[in-house]
Amino acid sequence: MSRMIMKSVILLALAASCYLPAAGQDSNTGWQTPPEEIMKVLHAPQLPWIWTSPTGEYLFLAEPPDYPPLAEMGAPMHKLAGMRVNPANNGYHGDHGGTSPYVIRIEDGARTALDLPAGAEVLEVSWNVDGQRFALAVGYPDRIELWTGSVDGKIRKIENILLNPLLGRPVTWLPDQERLLVYRVPERGPAPTAPVIPAGPEIREGAGATARSTYEARNLLETAYDDDLFSYYTSSELVIVEPGTGKMKVLGGPAPYFTAEFSPDGKYVLIERLVGPWSHEVARRRFASEAEVWNEQGEKVANIYSYPLADAVPVHGEIEGPRSISWRPTAPHTLYWVEALDGGDPMAEVPHRDRLMRLDAPFMGKSEEVFRAEHRILPWMNAWAEEGGVLMLTENERMRRWSYTWLLDVDKGTSRLWFDMDESDRYNDPGSPLSKQLPNGHWVMRQLKNEVYFRGSGATDQGDRPFLDLRNLESDKSTRLFRCDPDRYESFVAFAGDGDKFILRSESPVDVPNYYLTTPGKKIKAAEGEATRQLKRVPITHFEDPTPELRQIEKQIVRYEREDGVPLSFQLLLPPGYQEGTALPTVIYAYPLEYASASTAGQVSGSSRRFMRLNGASHLYFLLQGYAVLDQTAMPMVGDPETTYNTFVPQLVADAEAAVAKAVEMGVTDPERIGVIGHSHGGLMVANLLAHTDLFKAGIARSGSYNKTTQPFGFQSERRSLFEAREVYIQVSPTFFANQVNEPVLIIHGNDDSNPGTLTFQSEVFYEAVRGSGGTARLVLLPFEDHGYRSMESIEHVLWEQLRWFDTYVKEQEP
């Protein structure tokens, strides 16, 4: 940790010492805050977090935290194999829960407070299947405790338990729904101390290795001391707890467990744990591991697998051997998993890529193949039918970006294709099945006889209209039970009880999101795709608007076309008090995405009927300073998935030209006062648009990657290596064209960015390339911040920087 803090301080000092202010700017490097009207909105109360009971009879609510202070972000932490660990409480660094929890009874809205101690934060809620009781992971600065409670407001701490949430769910109910299985911090003594002098140099070696993805290489272990820390903080004891009596039973010894799941009949436990020695080249998900089945006494019954270190998994590939291993919910004790048939290599030419396997108790025989998939099987757990052996399984065809959803009957040995679709086709997406818990606590699809409930976002060319359907298991026929009204944004939350009543979340541009108990009425005639039942709504919650000043913002979805006919869209937002016909300074925000076809690239995303709330360092704060904003501006890259990035820059330019032309045509945008902003891959977009167009007066690039040659084995959806597509890597990298950036660019980055594709040096090098070529640039490095910005000081300062930059270089330009 001290190594990281020292590096952060040095980088900040260097940035401050070498910064040369542009004309008309000062060199103030202290923390700044945006105008008062923005501060008021930024720190307005947020709506509560909500956990719905399995029966749909109660809501558990807690108030979300405010932005943490920078001092907390800079507190000691350890980077351990892909995660950041808070040594003070053995949790995740920067992780916060909700405060002031309470329960609402859905039937009548009655509210019951839960009396947790001051400073306690609810990190996780684990409902009992009966919907009356719950277990809580309760966080403090120096520990994470186990509490249990009930909907009548009774709540108590379970003594002698400190939870460890790092590798698995820290608390779950056993199938009997009377006992809990928890990951407990074991008795272990003090944490390892850093050596004054390292035991030796850091060494890596490769011989005859194959390419692997760089996206897995974040927050890696680096030293023997890191190895000791990883073992210390990830080791847990598995303890069965009886909440009523406080009795406990320990299963096995301490280890870095990441799965501990009882079979539906409660007789066996599936155990998965990591096995050393620890690697310094991949994150924990690629570490050596082993799986076993234990009996309920914690005694080993069988070995399921033993993996070596997976440090040579192909790019976009999978491990060999069992993955996604889990119990079948509707059988007493049968395991299912997926195995690769192509060596995990997506480029291998094979007739089948994956297969589904099963193994029944006593787990000593040979596993049985159930189904062979032509393409890669996606995670399939929780997709079992309520009864029988029906399993919904989805596979993905990488080359076409196409998905196929199958219905298997694992008891009868049958399979049939249920539906298939372009994975980017939002308009025809049938949604996903609703889940419910069986009495044993395991999850299955929720059914009504031979039909499965599906819910989806309901994307249309007018915006999202969420829906609830019943889909027949024997045909493609669906019945629409609910569809969002075109003038609002409403979404299904959960069923309320065993009948057809359900909880609905409803909002509009002027109505704060609230929850309603909804009762379907008589059937009605409806146009195709519309709901077939009348609905009666009774409010459950009565949340009030914390930021009424935002209700004056106007919002609409605008559709248009690119020069080559590709349909596009953006959400146009106009500031409070906008006078029709006024051409405003305008901010364009976008994030480039890849598509296999033009038809899906142009599909509208989002809804103009949402209630607006602003969080973090949002670009939407420009609306409070008189700017128009083009939000969710479509920037599609259309083409063969293997070669899409061959035309990245020309397509990006065409996308931007079309958006600007449409906004100007509408009379809302002054073509001489337009700025562009983007984060991550959007930062790359900003830099390329400034280098290759003159559409914008200035740009803001946040946490971007500006030289793709530093990711030699792929980025985003680019599947070729640098050595296969050298010119493509260079052409998409604006650092190579920094001398063409002739508009002012503000470059912002967290100086502890762990995303391997956007490490902080990317912004430092790009800044120096622009500055050294005579361009106008400002580099802001935020201490202790990762890929996104979390601290109060950082968020306030970023808002100040963004507003100041565009006020200077965009807004103040002569119309």
| Residues 519 and 668 occupy one common structural domain | no
Residue written as tokens 């995740």? 92
d(CA 129, CA 134): 9
Identify whether 743 is part of a domain: yes
Q: How far is CA 746 from the centre of its chain?
A: 27
For the segment 85-103, the average pLDDT, to the nearest whole number, is 97
In which band, very low, low, confident or very high, does the pLDDT at 100 lie, cut at 50, 70 and 90?
A: very high
Pairing assessment for the beta strands 334-340 and 502-507 based on DSSP bridges: unpaired
| Residue 211 confidence (pLDDT) | 65
| Residues 524 and 552 occupy one common structural domain | no
pLDDT digits (tens, 9 = 90+) for 317-334: 898 889 999 999 999 999
The phi, psi pair for 354, rounded to 5°, reads -135, 165
In which band, very low, low, confident or very high, does the pLDDT at 13 lie, cut at 50, 70 and 90?
A: very low
Write down the catalytic residue from 226, 345, 655, 753. 753
Q: Are 314 and 344 in contact (CB under 8 A)?
A: yes
Angle at 627 between CA 65 and CA 788, to 5 degrees: 35
- DSSP structure class, residue 30: S
pLDDT digits (tens, 9 = 90+) for 217-249: 789 999 999 999 999 999 999 999 999 999 999
Q: How many structural domains is the chain composed of?
A: 2
Q: Among 761, 718, 729, which residue's Cα sits nearest to residue 215?
A: 718
| Residues 602 and 533 occupy one common structural domain | no
Amino acid code (one letter) for 683: G
Question: Would you state the structure tokens that stand for residue 345, as one six-digit string?
Answer: 């290599």
**Annotation marks residue 680 as catalytic:** yes
Q: Which residue range(s) make up the domain with 469? A: 446-539
Question: Would you state the structure tokens that stand for residue 454, as one six-digit string?
Answer: 């599906």
d(CA 327, CA 442): 9
| Residues 748 and 701 occupy one common structural domain | yes
Question: Would you state the structure tokens that stand for residue 269, as one six-digit string?
Answer: 């436990």
Identify whether 352 is part of a domain: no
Report whether pLDDT(537) > 50: yes
Identify whether 66 is part of a domain: no
For the segment 486-493, the average pLDDT, to the nearest whole number, is 95
Identify whether 456 is part of a domain: yes
| Residues 778 and 683 occupy one common structural domain | yes
Identify whether 412 is part of a domain: no
pTM for the complete prediction?
0.92
d(CA 747, CA 212): 30
For the segment 3-31, the average pLDDT, to the nearest whole number, is 45
| Residue 380 confidence (pLDDT) | 63
| Residues 613 and 659 occupy one common structural domain | yes
Report whether pLDDT(12) > 60: no
Helix axis angle for 648-665 and 681-692, nearest 10°, is 80
For the segment 73-89, the average pLDDT, to the nearest whole number, is 96
Identify whether 534 is part of a domain: yes
Pairing assessment for the beta strands 533-539 and 514-523 based on DSSP bridges: antiparallel
| Residue 717 confidence (pLDDT) | 84
Where does a domain end: 492, 519, 539? Answer: 539
| Residue 199 confidence (pLDDT) | 81
| Residue 218 confidence (pLDDT) | 81
What is the overall mean pLDDT for the chain? Answer: 92
Report whether pLDDT(350) > 90: yes
CATH classification of the domain holding 644: 3.40.50.1820
| Residues 523 and 563 occupy one common structural domain | no
Q: Among 177, 69, 63, 164, which residue's Cα sits nearest to residue 120?
A: 63
Question: Would you state the structure tokens that stand for residue 165, as one six-digit string?
Answer: 């949430």
**Annotation marks residue 787 as catalytic:** yes
Pairing assessment for the beta strands 745-750 and 698-702 based on DSSP bridges: parallel
Write down the catalytic residue from 8, 618, 680, 703. 680
pLDDT digits (tens, 9 = 90+) for 765-789: 999 999 999 999 999 999 999 999 9
Identify whether 491 is part of a domain: yes
Report whether pLDDT(9) > 50: no
Pairing assessment for the beta strands 155-162 and 171-173 based on DSSP bridges: unpaired
Question: Would you state the structure tokens that stand for residue 419, as one six-digit string?
Answer: 């539906």
SS3 annotation, 638-692 = ECCCCCHHHHHHHHHHHHHHHHHHHHHHCCCEEEEEEEEEEECHHHHHHHHHHHH
pLDDT digits (tens, 9 = 90+) for 162-214: 999 999 999 999 999 999 999 999 999 999 999 999 888 888 777 766 666 55
d(CA 727, CA 340): 33
In which band, very low, low, confident or very high, does the pLDDT at 532 lie, cut at 50, 70 and 90?
A: confident
pLDDT digits (tens, 9 = 90+) for 569-596: 999 999 999 999 999 999 999 999 999 8
Identify whether 592 is part of a domain: yes
**Annotation marks residue 753 as catalytic:** yes
Burial class for 746, CB neighbours closer than 10 Å (0-12, 13-18, 19+):
buried
Question: Would you state the structure tokens that stand for residue 264, as one six-digit string?
Answer: 């539906």
| Residues 741 and 779 occupy one common structural domain | yes
Report whether pLDDT(500) > 60: yes
In which band, very low, low, confident or very high, does the pLDDT at 4 lie, cut at 50, 70 and 90?
A: very low
DSSP conformation letters of 211-259: ---GGG-SS---SHHHHHHHHHHH-EEEEEE-TTT--EEEEEEEE-EEE
Cα separations in angstroms, 252 against 17, 159, 165, 303, 314 = 56, 21, 18, 15, 35
| Residues 784 and 802 occupy one common structural domain | yes
In which band, very low, low, confident or very high, does the pLDDT at 813 lie, cut at 50, 70 and 90?
A: low
Report whether pLDDT(807) > 90: yes
| Residue 812 confidence (pLDDT) | 81
3-state secondary structure of 14: helix
| Residues 625 and 514 occupy one common structural domain | no
| Residue 22 confidence (pLDDT) | 43
Amino acid code (one letter) for 185: V
Question: Would you state the structure tokens that stand for residue 582, as one six-digit string?
Answer: 């006024």
| Residue 498 confidence (pLDDT) | 82
pLDDT digits (tens, 9 = 90+) for 696-741: 999 999 999 999 999 998 898 888 889 999 999 999 999 999 999 9
| Residues 640 and 739 occupy one common structural domain | yes
Report whether pLDDT(3) > 50: no
- 593 - beta bridge partners? 636
| Residues 589 and 453 occupy one common structural domain | no
The phi, psi pair for 803, rounded to 5°, reads -65, -45
| Residue 315 confidence (pLDDT) | 77
For 154, residues 6+ apart whose C-beta sits below 8 A from its C-beta are: none
Q: Are 371 and 415 in contact (CB under 8 A)?
A: yes
For the segment 614-633, the average pLDDT, to the nearest whole number, is 97
Residue written as tokens 């950082």? 794
Question: Would you state the structure tokens that stand for residue 182, as one six-digit string?
Answer: 């928890």
Sign of the Cα torsion 731, 732, 733, 739 reads: positive
DSSP conformation letters of 754-772: --GGG-THHHHHHHHHHHH
Where does a domain end: 539, 556, 590? Answer: 539
d(CA 750, CA 794): 9
| Residue 667 confidence (pLDDT) | 97
Where does a domain end: 497, 516, 539? Answer: 539
Residue written as tokens 């709506």? 47
Q: Among 234, 367, 210, 346, which residue's Cα sits nearest to residue 289?
A: 234
Q: Among 74, 67, 106, 84, which residue's Cα sits nearest to residue 9?
A: 74
SS3 annotation, 423-464 = CCCCCCCCCEECEEECCCCCEEECEECCEEEEEECCCCCCCC
Write down the catalytic residue from 280, 679, 787, 797. 787
More confident residue, 43 or 524: 43
pLDDT digits (tens, 9 = 90+) for 625-643: 999 999 999 999 999 888 9
d(CA 407, CA 389): 10
